[in-house]
Structure 1
Amino acid sequence: MVLKIYFDDKPVFLCDEINSTIEAHRHHPDAIFIDEVTTPAIKSLLHEIAKPDFHSGILYSEDIEKLKKMFWKHFTIIQAAGGLVKNEKGETLMIFRRGKWDLPKGKLEEGENLESCAIREVEEETGLKNITVQHFLITTYHTYNDFGKHILKESYWYLMNASSNQKTTPQTEEDIFEITWVNKDAIGEKLRNTFPSIKDVVKTAGQ
């Protein structure tokens, strides 16, 4: 298993196997590889991430669940869910939020399951109705600071369908000011101005 956590655009991998992706990062001169994982080693890696020449980090352990717990305890965990929505033409819905092209998603509410959260967030952020979930796609992980708190967000993504023959309404209170359906030929342009985790979602969906 390989988990990829983004710190801005810099990945840190938690893994119990060395696949081709890990091998490529492992041999980069500015990557950090740790196979004897301890709490001090994790703290040291988190300190190194802030340096401008940091490329990537790899934490290897045969016990991936123990490794995940050790890493997760350094953060406040937030769960979120969202959708990659396709229409009858095979186009993908994208939103423009805070200067980046993005996909609709939001935080899990108390008592809510992930799939229901994903549908609700797509409806709220885009105004779409009659959304159907096809299947689960991928979980992405990214970190950020919120008033001094170190947050690790787990985002659960679903492939969805909705008709384009309906009005979309951007949720401006969430800083969304544009919504567009993007065909396969044009999506590459949008992905040049997005987040690495969104690229992973789009790639998983086969775009």
Structure 2
Amino acid sequence: MYKIYINQKPLILISDKQVEIFKDKEEILLARYPGKAKFLLNYIDMLEKGNKNMQVVLYDHDIDKLYRDLKTIAPPVKAAGGIVFNENNELLAIFRKGYWDLPKGHIHRNEKKKDAAIREVMEETGVKDLEI
């Protein structure tokens, strides 16, 4: 199983042996992958425009091919961020696009993951003097 988030909504890729788990569930669009990467754009568009509880589950007998096809039209993005606690052990979260989230963002070219995590948390929260 692969779970990819698009605008905070999951696109779940499963083998056809796992279909029963997702049948008859509310807010889930369950569909067989038609085998052509261009069709994946329709499902991505649904998640981008659909309600916040929507989930799309696609299944195929060759889940790895399905995942490879998805990566051809929507390459993975490397990101970093952090879970931040203060001296009182309180968690810092940000409210973004209608959801509570952790600070994170894209890793720049040649940037180390730790450096990107610190930079993103500082940019999104204004907190300084962070330690990993």
Q: TM-score, normalised by structure 2?
A: 0.66
**How far has the Cα of 1:120 moved from its partner?**
2.1
**Ranges in structure 2 where 5+ consecutive residues have no aligned partner:** none
Residue 86 (structure 1) shift: 1.9
1:83 corresponding residue in structure 2: 82
**CA deviation after TM superposition for structure 1 residue 108, in Å:** 0.9
Q: C-alpha deviations, 1:12-59, integer Å up to 9, x for none? A: 21134638xx82x4323662321554335434534655577x943212
Partner amino acid, structure 2, of 1:74: I
Aligned counterpart, 1:12:
11
For 1:48 and 1:97, how far apart are their aligned partners in 2?
Answer: 20
Report the equivalent of 2:127: 127
Count of residue correspondences: 127
Inter-CA distance 91–113: structure 2 relative to 1 (3 Å threshold): same
Specify which structure has the bigger relative contact order, considering alpha-carbon pairs within 8 angstroms and separated by 6 or more residues: 1
Please name the residue that 2:113 is paired with.
Answer: 114
Choose between structure 1 and 2: higher helix proportion: 2
Structure 1 CA distance for aligned equivalents of residues 102 and 24 of structure 2: 33
Quote how far apart the aligned CAs of 1:76 are. 5.6
After TM superposition, give the deviation of residue 116 of structure 1 in Å. Answer: 2.5
Residue 32 of structure 2 is matched in structure 1 by 34
Equivalent position amino acid for 2:129 in 1: K
Q: Distance in 1 between matches of 2:46 and 2:100?
A: 29
Amino acid in the other structure paired with 1:18: Q
Identity %: 29
Deviation at 1:90, TM superposition (A): 2.5
